[in-house]
Structure 1
Amino acid sequence: MSVPVCSVVIPTYDAAHLIGQQLEALATQVDAPPFEVVVADNRSTDDLAGAVAAWDDRLDVRLVDASRAQGVSVARNVGIEHARTDRILICDADDVVSPGWVRTMSDGLDDHPLVSGPVETSRLSGRSAAWVPIDERTAGLFETWEGRTYGIGGNVGLRRGVWAAVGGFDEDYPAGAEEIDFAWRAADLGHTFAYLPDALVHYRIRTDLRGVLRQQYNSGRGTATLYAKFRPAEVVPKSVPRRIHHELLLLKGFPWRGTADQRRMWLTVMAFEAGKLVEARRLGSPAP
């Protein structure tokens, strides 16, 4: 195989039943430069090794051990450490990149230290795409407090030097907001994301409600961790009376006369709020 000019890193946990779709998408990239695929196994208990080995004849793919601790940040960091190139493209095992994704992301790193693109949620998720507060097709970088932007973790390109200067992904985060933390620390060093509209990823929302609620709960925990670490001045934590009032308004807003999907979306908002409050209390920090 040709010497790769970029590396696709896939942090993976128990995705043997899904990763074939992502590897198929990578094997059929259009006009892509030579690239390698590094699958970082984060303590999988399924036959991930067999699922990856099945693509040896179509991809320059390697499985690396990322079991030193549990967490997506660990897997991303280990995958990057094992990559043979300085251009790192990160996607997730349960998503599917678009046909020109590798070319677009690799080219974007010619001019920018960090790149990301849109995600689309309906193709892989069906009706569960309507349960979470993510546009069914995004049209720009994601935003947080005071307009700070970031690229979603499953659609990121970066230069190795930037990753090293930032200190990698923070491995102390729960499963949520770690990519925001990385983007903020990178911005403090003068490295910001560029948006590549053609670098589309088909993003999978869990199709079982329990899985979606767990995902949103962890996102809330991550948001609380982010606030506790950075304490952005523009975010004023709610006083106890205001917090109680806020939560009561959310409870009162249950869509009794709404559709089943509207009720599920309400549940995801409550799961996010619960995760935020639980983690803030654990950290001894006000909830944002």
Structure 2
Amino acid sequence: MTSGPARVSVVIPTYNAAHVIGQQLGALVEQIDAPAFEVIVADNGSTDNLAAAVGEWTSQLMQLRVVDASRGSGVSFARNTGIRAASTDRILLCDADDVVSNGWVAALGRGLETHPLVSGPVETTRLSGRSASWVPVPSLTTGLFETWGGRTYGIGCNLGIRRNVWTEIGGFDETYPAGAEEIDFAWRAQDAGHAMGYVADALVHYRIRTDLRGVLKKQLNSGRGSATLYAKFRPAEVVPKSTIRRVRHEALLLRRFPWRGTPDARRQWLCTAAFEAGKLWEARRLGTPAP
């Protein structure tokens, strides 16, 4: 790890991750050809032994510190708090329960020399095992994620942002549930003229939770985020289903339950159902059609 004043800031939004954050911090210790960087753990009100877990790494990551992000809740609040505390104008975002590759800091840092925002690939099998097949995320991504109308975005656990972009668009929207906030950020940045670049060498090993309840909660929140995104932007290319078509769509989903399938097939179905339920729940709460 290069010494000297930090040129890049790594921000890690964190909540109750004492049991896994050591893997991420260990990966940051092992960075190759990276510019001098600081690491900011934005603690979103953890009730576990996070401070002690982070403290074990201060001798190897000399510019490592924990900042208090407990005055609000959610990953967007923690990210914004960590970014405000950062001392540089080059911000890299990763999550406490993932593991960055050993060239991640260098790759995203280089990407920010030519792009205002950057993201890289994720792979889902190393940390997740069989649960990687439960959710609709490829085992290895090869480009930016796409959503409605071919609009692209970078996954929140693998982002690089110039501070001026974050400032200009008002940071991450803290009203979102824990899903789709990175899409909202990318869309607002694009609307302001800041295109996102893709950095193929900036790989992150992405952890999908191995407990089904946790995975379903995440999928439910992703569905809620999708409905929030639609309510906020109302993209013209998205035509909400009529009541009759919505009922038919959900009935078809129910008929497709894999009664004779494998346990993993049934878990995949449950994840899809949780996402759909999240969309309907949040759309009803917001008083808008479900996308």
Q: TM-score, normalised by structure 2?
A: 0.98
Once residues 269 and 25 of structure 2 are traced to their aligned partners in structure 1, the CA distance between those partners, rounded to angstroms, is 34
Aligned residue in 2 for 1:194: 197
What are the within-5 Å matches in structure 2 for residues 28-39 of structure 1? 28-39=30-41
Q: How far off its partner does 1:195 sit?
A: 0.7
Q: 2:59 aligns with which of 57, 60, 72?
A: 57
Q: How far off its partner does 1:257 sit?
A: 2.1
Deviations 1:228-268 (A, max 9, x none): 01110110111100000000010111112221111110100
Identity of aligned residues (%): 71
- Range that drifts further, 255-264 or 16-25: 255-264
Amino acid at match of 2:131: S
Once residues 236 and 142 of structure 2 are traced to their aligned partners in structure 1, the CA distance between those partners, rounded to angstroms, is 28
- Please list every run of 5 or more consecutive structure 1 residues that lacks an aligned counterpart in the other structure: none
- Range that drifts further, 51-60 or 96-105: 51-60
Amino acid at match of 1:147: G
SS, match of residue 11 in structure 2? strand
SS, match of residue 113 in structure 2? coil
Aligned residue in 2 for 1:173: 176
Aligned residue in 2 for 1:228: 231
Deviations 1:6-65 (A, max 9, x none): 000000000011000000000110111100000000010011111111111111101000
- Please list every run of 5 or more consecutive structure 2 residues that lacks an aligned counterpart in the other structure: none
| Pair 1:152-2:155 in alignment | yes
Aligned residue in 1 for 2:137: 134
Q: 2:270 aligns with which of 258, 267, 282?
A: 267
Amino acid at match of 2:234: R
| Pair 1:245-2:248 in alignment | yes
Q: 2:92 aligns with which of 86, 89, 92?
A: 89
| Pair 1:276-2:279 in alignment | yes
Amino acid at match of 1:161: N
Aligned residue in 2 for 1:210: 213
Aligned residue in 2 for 1:161: 164
Once residues 154 and 223 of structure 2 are traced to their aligned partners in structure 1, the CA distance between those partners, rounded to angstroms, is 18
Q: TM-score, normalised by structure 1?
A: 0.99
